[in-house]
Structure 1
Amino acid sequence: MKGSAQDHRDGLIVEIIDRNGLTGLGDAAPFPGLHKESLQDIIDEFKNIYPIFSELDSQSGSDIWQILNSLPECSPSLRFALDWAFVELKSAKTKLSPVTILGSDNISEVFINGLLTGSPAEIVESAKKLFSKNYQSIKVKVATHAIEEEINLIKELNELFGGKISLRLDANQSWKFDEAVKFGKAVKSTNIEYLEEPCSNPELFENFYRETKIPYAFDESLLQNTVNQMKNFDGLKTLILKPAVLGYLSKTRDWVNWAANQNKGIVFSSTFESGVGLRAICNLAAAYGTNGLAHGLDTFNWLKEDITIPAFSAINNSIDLSNQSFQLKRNKLKKIHEHAF
């Protein structure tokens, strides 16, 4: 991710327990190269802000947004964990699902896209396996091989599946504008849903769309914009929301509302969190994701082991939210701080 290869993930699990023994869990796992804060940063930060929690009103009668707005400011990855822990605690207190707590209909199934990397040959073989599991969307990282190779790859994938799988491509702003246009013009007749961050200069994304007619998606570019600054670009089709990067759930909700008003799609995506974080993002996708769109939550397939029992998983291309009970593998965790209010 963002040019950073990792062979393991570390993170901080925040557990809030009320006087009745009800709990809420959150996952703070900064990703090197994506988050500015480190794991040690958020551990130190948490130790500094925890006394404020004793002043919070998290009773069942309080509005969840009132509770979240009263939390102290902190770095994005930690804030995501804290916000979600309080959503879970609210859910436990009220016996309502997190999706209902967030103010949405109680959806119990979330579809996911497959994430493919590697050589073109490896991507083709992986795509065939996903197709056999009824995946309807696959995401392919581009701008990692020669352009001609990737043009041939996209054409081959399109021919293999006959338009039955939508292709989500992600260039991570790695191409120059001319390179992006060359690629786009060569593959514009294929079943591309959108191209994330097509070139290195976001100001040229609209020019890319005009040249190629391929819609694009914002991911990293969202961090350089606010809801109040954002324009309704013609070529912009979808916002890719990473809650662990946005941090505040209120920011996530603001982007969801903006997208709804501008008729843009919302796709949620993970940053290789544990099952705790993935369940949180899955609930957000159920609450706020655009109906019918698959979400970028298959990163669990890249983890050798989860810290939850059962491990976060999908059945073919969907995740069942009807039963969200799980336990932590506490033997895999190290307690670093505890405070009673």
Structure 2
Amino acid sequence: MKPLHADICRYEVPFTAPVTVRSVLLASREGLLLRLKCEGATAFGEIAPLPGLHAESLDEATSALAAFIPELSRLNLNSSDERRRLLDEATLPPSVATGIEMALVNLAALTTGSLPSFPGAFPPASKIPVNALLAGKPEAVLERAAKRYAEGFLAFKLKVRKGQLDEAIASIRAFHEAFGDKAELRLDANQSLDFDEAVRFGKALPPGSISYIEEPLTDTALIPEFHAATGLPSALDESLWQRPALLDEIGPTPLGALVIKPNCIGGIQRSLDLAAKARRMGLQAVFSSAFESSVSLGLYALLAAVSSPTPAASGLDTASFLADDLTDKPFAAPDGRADPAAAWRDSQRVKPGMIETIASWRL
């Protein structure tokens, strides 16, 4: 069913501790919710560009969203084909396109009383694994890893920072000694290392200690050479939207995974299309968030659940970094796994006191 009413709502949620994104220090997470209503249903989609990651600011996203909302009146059935055509005709920042599509997908599902459905998708897995985030000094990394492992987490992700490589190597060695092949460790360098230091770092790691390293190089095109020098597989994340053609140029051999952030890729169906391409290339499709609220995490969990018969561990542990959340029941993976159907249903139960309506339309 097509939406009849639209609201833009704004929110701000503090982090449990300041978060650094590409040298930008953030004390809180700010964003928007697009609230769509029709007879008998209210649905939400999240628009949350992350400073340091997205090109668009929150104010720019707000303006783009407000300018687009009248176009929603052109929808007839709110079908997947209609949504794609409407969004493809627009020029929208990726976070805005994703939030609009999210709200429309959610509205279509809520009006039928079913889970969101996607063309060509697999039946949703009943559970999806989630990787736990690690940070800090080696002692803190190992302490958090041991705690999350005891809870049931079997996949972990550690940030690798330029200028702190010795510390990262110590953390990786300690993790490998503690867990061996009982737990998976992924790294993320956020395109921070030049080629020579990345190779030195890679050669210093114990054999078999990591699954892959996300975006190890400032020049992503050198990933094949990095793989030849170290034997380590990489994963593409930022490059997927910064330089999309590189995926085909690099090919699957030096890669282990594609890390898919829908609000950077620019849409829900685009993200599923990319996951399908990863599967055809023999790579993991790892759905990941950009510190969004549980409104997004619920749908992302469902995307991971329908993207593969055996979903890879997703990067959705970011809710644990928020001091509060927008939903009555925040996203959780209590045993290292999340229930995607329950997470999606919970994602649409937003606490009114957490959001402020700043604009409204009758469509």
Whether these two folds match at TM > 0.5 is yes
Q: Within 5 Å, give how 1:280-319 maps onto structure 2.
A: 280-288=299-307, 291-319=310-338
From 31, 50, 67, the counterpart of 1:31: 50
Distance 1:101 1:88 in 2: 15
The residue type equivalent to 1:141 in the other structure is K
Distance 1:296 1:74 in 2: 25
Give deviations 1:157-214, integer Å, cap 9, x for gaps.
1000122111101111111211111111121413311011112111211111111111
From 55, 69, 78, the counterpart of 2:96: 78
Question: What is the CA distance between 1:132 and its match in structure 2?
Answer: 0.7
C-alpha distance 289-121 of structure 1, shift in aligned 2 (>3 A): farther
Question: What is the CA distance between 1:6 and its match in structure 2?
Answer: 1.1
Distance 1:270 1:205 in 2: 24
Distance 2:309 2:285 in 1: 5
The residue type equivalent to 1:13 in the other structure is L
Query: What residue in structure 2 maps to residue 268 of structure 1?
Result: 287
Distance 2:127 2:190 in 1: 29
Q: State TM-score, norm by structure 2.
A: 0.87
The residue type equivalent to 1:212 in the other structure is T
**SS of corresponding position for 1:73:** coil
Computed over aligned residues only, the root mean square deviation of the Cα atoms, in angstroms, reads 1.9
**SS of corresponding position for 2:43:** strand
Say if 2:136 is the partner of 1:124. no
**SS of corresponding position for 2:45:** strand
Q: Within 5 Å, give how 1:152-171 maps onto structure 2.
A: 152-171=170-189
Query: What residue in structure 2 maps to residue 249 of structure 1?
Result: 268
Q: Is the 8 A contact 2:252 2:281 kept in 1?
A: no
Distance 1:190 1:226 in 2: 29
Query: What residue in structure 1 maps to residue 351 of structure 2?
Result: 329
**SS of corresponding position for 1:40:** helix
**SS of corresponding position for 1:26:** strand
Distance 1:106 1:310 in 2: 21
Question: What is the CA distance between 1:93 and its match in structure 2?
Answer: 2.3
Question: What is the CA distance between 1:250 and its match in structure 2?
Answer: 3.4
Query: What residue in structure 2 maps to residue 14 of structure 1?
Result: 34
**SS of corresponding position for 1:37:** coil
Q: Is the 8 A contact 1:171 1:198 kept in 2?
A: yes
From 97, 105, 112, the counterpart of 1:87: 105
**SS of corresponding position for 1:178:** helix
The structure showing larger relative contact order (alpha-carbon pairs under 8 Å, at least 6 residues apart) is: 2
Question: What is the CA distance between 1:21 and its match in structure 2?
Answer: 2.6
Distance 1:259 1:127 in 2: 28
Query: Which consecutive unaligned segments of at least 5 residues does structure 1 have?
Result: none
Query: What residue in structure 2 maps to residue 66 of structure 1?
Result: 82
Query: Which consecutive unaligned segments of at least 5 residues does structure 2 have?
Result: 1-20
Q: State TM-score, norm by structure 1.
A: 0.93
Query: What residue in structure 2 maps to residue 211 of structure 1?
Result: 229
Distance 2:208 2:233 in 1: 12
Distance 2:322 2:247 in 1: 37
C-alpha distance 314-229 of structure 1, shift in aligned 2 (>3 A): closer
Q: Is the 8 A contact 2:115 2:341 kept in 1?
A: no
Give deviations 1:204-257, integer Å, cap 9, x for gaps.
111111111111100111123336972324111100000011112232133123
The residue type equivalent to 1:274 in the other structure is S
**SS of corresponding position for 1:338:** strand
Question: What is the CA distance between 1:7 and its match in structure 2?
Answer: 1.0
Q: Is the 8 A contact 2:40 2:111 kept in 1?
A: no
Question: What is the CA distance between 1:260 and its match in structure 2?
Answer: 2.0
The residue type equivalent to 1:244 in the other structure is N
The residue type equivalent to 1:105 in the other structure is P
Say if 2:219 is the partner of 1:201. yes
